[in-house]
Amino acid sequence: MTVLNSNKLLLVRQDLPRLGINLSPSTLLRLEAAGKFPKRVRIGAHSVAWLASEIHAHIEALAAEREAA
């Protein structure tokens, strides 16, 4: 994990599996483009990350959809 500022936590690709997100890079790109996964943040020339708050909100939304079904 990388800290963006005092209250914004960034998750790198290696952090996603521990949250149960085991998707290939191409699948993540496809879901992001379709608006079905939070968009990544560029943190360097060759590095990206995701805001932890957006990833957790995404997981909570998936759980809510499951409960509504």
> Which structural domain range is residue 42 located in?
2-68
- Mean of per-residue pLDDT scores for the chain: 89
- Whole-model pTM? 0.83
Give residue 6's pLDDT.
47
Give residue 22's pLDDT.
96
Could you report the per-residue pLDDT of 34-62, keeping only the tens digit for each? 999 999 999 999 999 999 999 999 999 99
- Concatenate the DSSP letters of all residues of 2-55 into one string: EEEETTEEEE-GGGGGGGT----HHHHHHHHHTTSSPPPEEEETTEEEEEHHHH
pLDDT over threshold 90, residue 67:
no
Total domains in the fold of the chain: 1
Give residue 8's pLDDT.
78
